[in-house]
Amino acid sequence: MYILGIETSCDETASAVVLDGRVMASNVVASQIDLHAQYGGVFPELASRAHVEQIAPVVQQAISDAAITPDQIDAIAVTQGPGLVGSLLVGVNYAKGLSLASGKPLIGVNHLEGHIYSLWLTQPFKEPEFPVVVLIVSGGHTELLLMTGYNDYTRLGGTLDDAAGEAFDKVGRLLELPFPGGPNIENAAQMGNPSAFNFPRALRGNHYDFSFSGLKTAVMREVTVQPSAAARRQRGAEKKAQLRADVSINDVAASFQEALAEALVEKTVRAARKHNATEIFMAGGVSANGRLRALMKRESSLPVRYPPLNLCTDNAAMIAAAAYYRHADAIREGTLESDFALDVRALWPLGGDGRR
Ligand code: KG4
Ligand code: ZN
């Protein structure tokens, strides 16, 4: 069964064709990184407009790369949420139009569930034995879940303030590194000393919630100097905090990355032990981080899985894969239908309300 996936929840316009939830026939991602780099973060209004421009060529490319004809597509899957409303609407409406015109079923997918199923696209794939503990770490989310079966999640915890990727991006901006902060901090960290600064690991305790805003503030205190009162009064003077000239960006990057990764690893490993998990799964943009991967493997006696680098960040193959597993029964029974009432969901916790 071929599923066409469409993803426009944030700043990537993506489309892919996936065979039977496992095999990527194509995977096209048009990134808007250059567009948003000048603002140091995603500018929602610009993101929606760029999706409108990109969506048709990206979907066409996905179909042509898959070397199939449009009528070979069995269903259309689209990210319904969570994400930026204006961005989600572009993908959802395009998918509705395709479904209406082609008569193929339309499936709304939770973006976070999509990140999890990016692991089903790795080759060779080994069927997991549930339960597994899943850490989703991206620009918008930090969620710790217990996955007890296909599409069956219990939320164990998550961030109380900034998401892990958001913290990387904000600290990247402080350090005057290019956007997005994550990969650039990882590069800088390779040349830095992770014990140069002892940044807070924050929120220790017998729970599975995270907090990264204190860590970000600690980094800010370390690397910037505030303008003096006299400078603030002076007309035309630079009033923003300035990066200190004597601080090693590489050391700060390495120490920050270490503190953040340790906090993620400690809770994930503890949750896995407590819930007798057989494996630890990681997904989302920050799961691309080499130091996080290495620490997780070092601290856990369980196998640790993460997606290949190109499937850590947002893509539509994971959306098509999630749709396949979420609707496996309907697919088998041939009862899959289009839901044209499907609306976007800006907020959509996974596992919070029992199942989805
Ligand atoms: O999953 P994703 O593409 O988008 C969301 O769903 O949010 O994740 C993007 C995030 C960004 O914050 C980016 O800085 C971070 O993932 N990221 C990384 C790395 N690569 C991307 N963070 C740390 N290390 C990396 N190598
Ligand atoms: Zn994502």
Ligand lying nearest the CA atom of residue 285? 1
Structural domain boundaries enclosing 288: 127-305
The reply to whether ligand 1 has any atom less than 6 angstroms from the CB of 172 is no
Q: Is the pLDDT of residue 355 over 50?
A: no
Q: Distance from the CA of 302 to the center of ligand 2, in angstroms?
A: 25
Same domain, 109 and 186: no
Q: Is the pLDDT of residue 38 over 90?
A: no
Q: Compute the distance between CA of residue 226 and CA of residue 333 in angstroms, rounded to an integer.
A: 64
Q: What's the pLDDT at 235?
A: 75
Q: What's the pLDDT at 239?
A: 66
Same domain, 92 and 170: no
User: What digits encode the pLDDT tens for the residues 259-300?
Assistant: 999 999 999 999 999 999 999 999 999 999 999 999 999 999
Q: Distance from the CA of 31 to the center of ligand 2, in angstroms?
A: 13
In a domain, 34, yes or no: yes
Q: What is the arithmetic mean of pLDDT over 67-87?
A: 97
Same domain, 67 and 145: no
Check if the beta carbon of residue 203 is closer than 8 Å to that of residue 209: yes
pLDDT, mean over the chain = 93
Q: What's the pLDDT at 106?
A: 97
Q: Is the pLDDT of residue 201 over 90?
A: no
Give the CATH number, domain containing residue 198.
3.30.420.40
User: What digits encode the pLDDT tens for the residues 120-130?
Assistant: 999 899 999 99
Same domain, 282 and 317: no
Rounded (5°) CA angle 286-290-295: 95
Inter-CA distances, 60 with 28, 32, 87, 118, 229, Å: 10, 18, 19, 22, 58
Q: Is the pLDDT of residue 353 over 60?
A: no
Q: Distance from the CA of 219 to the center of ligand 2, in angstroms?
A: 25
In a domain, 338, yes or no: no
Quote the pTM value: 0.94
Q: Is the pLDDT of residue 86 over 70?
A: yes
Same domain, 24 and 70: yes
Same domain, 38 and 172: no
Q: What's the pLDDT at 354?
A: 40
Same domain, 246 and 108: no
Q: How confident is the model at residue 227 (pLDDT cuts 50, 70, 90)?
A: confident
Q: Distance from the CA of 166 to the center of ligand 1, in angstroms?
A: 8
Domain count of the fold of the chain? 2
Same domain, 150 and 269: yes
The reply to whether ligand 1 has any atom less than 6 angstroms from the CB of 165 is yes
The reply to whether ligand 1 has any atom less than 6 angstroms from the CB of 288 is yes
In a domain, 350, yes or no: no
Q: Which of 313, 318, 319, 350 to mutate to test the pocket of ligand 1 (most atoms within 8 A of CB)?
A: 313
User: What digits encode the pLDDT tens for the residues 173-189?
Assistant: 999 999 899 999 999 99
Q: What is the DSSP letter of 340?
A: T
Q: Is the pLDDT of residue 356 over 70?
A: no
Among candidates 301, 342, 277, 255, which has minimal Cα distance to 145? 277
Same domain, 22 and 171: no
Q: What is the arithmetic mean of pLDDT over 241-256?
A: 94
High-pLDDT (> 90) share of the chain, %: 83
Q: Is the pLDDT of residue 41 over 80?
A: no
3-state DSSP assignment of residue 197 = coil
Same domain, 138 and 110: no
- What is the DSSP secondary-structure string of 130-192? SPEEEEEE-SS-EEEEEEEETTEEEEEEEBSSS-HHHHHHHHHHHTTPPSSHHHHHHHHHTTS
3-state DSSP assignment of residue 75 = strand
Q: How confident is the model at residue 228 (pLDDT cuts 50, 70, 90)?
A: confident
Q: What's the pLDDT at 166?
A: 96
Residue with tokens 């960006």: 249
